[in-house]
Amino acid sequence: MLVGIDQLSFYAPPFYVDMAELADARGVDPNKYLIGIGQTQMSVAPKTQDIVTFAANAAKQILTPEIQKKIDMIIVGTESSLDESKASAVVLHRLLGLNPFTRAFEIKQACYGATAGIQIAVNHLAAHPESNVLVIATDNARYGLNSGGEPTQGAGAVAILLSANPRILALTDETVTLTQDIYDFWRPTGNLYPEVDGPLSNQTYIDSFQKTWDEYEKRYTKTFTDFAALCFHVPYTKMGKKALLAKLADVDADTANRLLQRYEESIHYSKRIGNLYTGSLYLGLISLLETSVSLKAGDKIGLFSYGSGSVAEFFTGHLIEGYEKHLKKESHESLLNKRKKLSITDYEHLFNDTLDISHNRFYQDSQIFSISEVKDLIRHYKQ
């Protein structure tokens, strides 16, 4: 029985910053952000939108009454959690109208959380093929104004529906996971922004890809030639390319060119959104599938997930006949095109204007799922 990804959609908040303008404001050569980092735009969220509303707005695009009834597990992967105890998945379970006999929980391991959720979903579906599992990766990636990480921020969510007999990507049991206790990026409890060792994080990412790939090659006797495309966790679009290039030196030219071309197709949306943390790998997969005209049913796709701290996983899937009919390219493009560009002054104002949950008050936002009121330390959402 095949098990895997049946539906995929993403949401990004309605504002963005132009990266050349941000570079100018920070006294940096724009080509550092545009070419060196590889970002053209960066998503920014207003205080009336948080990881719950990103997630709900992403998931509503793939839910039908029939799917809502079949979902018996909702898992949220996030590293921007709103509560030390209560899982955002429980709030989403209500907002999304899921059936009461559903398991709901949140997973944390930096940007790796949603991948852990997907592996749990795959095992659950093998035992309960009649059910559906909703995994949502949702984050607000904030490093602070004028910080080293500022050009690698972003915000939004990816919703992934998993089922038996999936219509987009069947996942295989070929998977290699690597855990290493390293402080490249971490956020002690209570801290608003992460602590980051930029060079160590880049190096650990590249090493993790090399180690998981080498182990994968050995364990499953496969090579790069077996793959139509590889998707990477994309903290900024240059990062995955650096890891890929480091492994392509001994690969034949056709294979190397193919993987590099597919890589470019996988970063189309990330270039305009920035880092989604847990959702970045899956935004890359959506981008690849919605941008590439070279892929076909049966093609093997490799996915490299990396969560600082660190856990990495390389796993694989193959495309299902007719997968392209289940993509949401038009609505995704339209969501990005409708966003409003912020001046750098407005971005800085919005960035500092954070939600104060200690003050009771009402809020207004035209987005379908957004914060409507804060009362007694509880966020209330408009449905």
Q: Between 59 and 111, whose beta carbon lies closer to ligand CAA?
A: 111
The three-state secondary structure class of 363 is coil
Which positions from 276 through 315 interact with ligand CAA, judged by CB under 6 A?
277, 306, 308
Among 79, 150, 290, 313, the one annotated catalytic: 79
- Binds ligand CAA by CB under 6 A, chosen from 80, 275, 287, 292: 275
Binding mask 107-146 for ligand CAA (x = CB under 6 A): ----x-----------------------------------
To the nearest 10 degrees (0 to 180), the angle between helices 253-266 and 280-291 is 110
* Identity of the residue numbered 20: A
CA 12 to chain centre: 11
Show Cβ contacts of residue 383 under 8 Å, excluding neighbours closer than 6 positions.
95, 368, 369
Q: Between 111 and 273, whose beta carbon lies closer to ligand CAA?
A: 111
Stretch that binds ligand CAA, among 115-123, 169-177, 235-243, 313-321 (CB under 6 A): 235-243
CA-based max dimension of the chain: 62
The three-state secondary structure class of 269 is coil
CB 295 → ligand CAA: shortest distance, Å? 25
Joined together, the tokens standing for residue 117 give: 């959720």
CB 132 → ligand CAA: shortest distance, Å? 28
Neighbours of 353 (CB within 10 A): 10
Q: Between 74 and 158, whose beta carbon lies closer to ligand CAA?
A: 158
Stretch that binds ligand CAA, among 89-97, 148-156, 159-167, 336-344 (CB under 6 A): 148-156
Start-to-end CA distance of the chain, whole Å, equals: 37
* Identity of the residue numbered 223: T
CB 281 → ligand CAA: shortest distance, Å? 10
CA 364 to chain centre: 27
Residue 5: enclosing H or E segment and its boundaries? strand 3-11
Show Cβ contacts of residue 277 under 8 Å, excluding neighbours closer than 6 positions.
78, 79, 80, 110, 111, 137, 139, 141, 154, 235
d(CA 67, CA 62): 8
Q: Between 163 and 310, whose beta carbon lies closer to ligand CAA?
A: 310
- Quick check: 157 binds ligand CAA (CB under 6 A)? no
> Catalytic annotation on 79?
yes
CB 100 → ligand CAA: shortest distance, Å? 35
Q: Between 193 and 362, whose beta carbon lies closer to ligand CAA?
A: 193
The three-state secondary structure class of 4 is strand
Binding mask 31-70 for ligand CAA (x = CB under 6 A): xx--xxx---------------------------------
Among 93, 124, 233, 268, the one annotated catalytic: 233
Kindly report the length of the chain. Answer: 383
Strand order in the sheet with 41-44: 41-44, 15-18, 340-341
> Catalytic annotation on 231?
no
Q: Between 202 and 367, whose beta carbon lies closer to ligand CAA?
A: 202
Beta pairing class for 71-77 and 132-141: parallel
> Catalytic annotation on 326?
no
- Quick check: 239 binds ligand CAA (CB under 6 A)? yes
Among 106, 111, 290, 332, the one annotated catalytic: 111
Stretch that binds ligand CAA, among 82-90, 213-221, 232-240, 319-327 (CB under 6 A): 232-240
d(CA 144, CA 151): 10
Which positions from 193 through 222 interact with ligand CAA, judged by CB under 6 A?
196, 198, 201-202, 205
* Identity of the residue numbered 328: K
Check residue 264 and report its DSSP letter: H
- Quick check: 237 binds ligand CAA (CB under 6 A)? no
- Quick check: 383 binds ligand CAA (CB under 6 A)? no
- Quick check: 185 binds ligand CAA (CB under 6 A)? yes
Tokens 């059936």, residue located: 99
Q: What does the binding site for ligand CAA look like in residue numbers (CB under 6 A)?
A: 29, 31-32, 35-37, 111, 148-149, 151-152, 185, 196, 198, 201-202, 205, 233, 235-236, 238-239, 275, 277, 306, 308
Active site members: 79, 111, 233
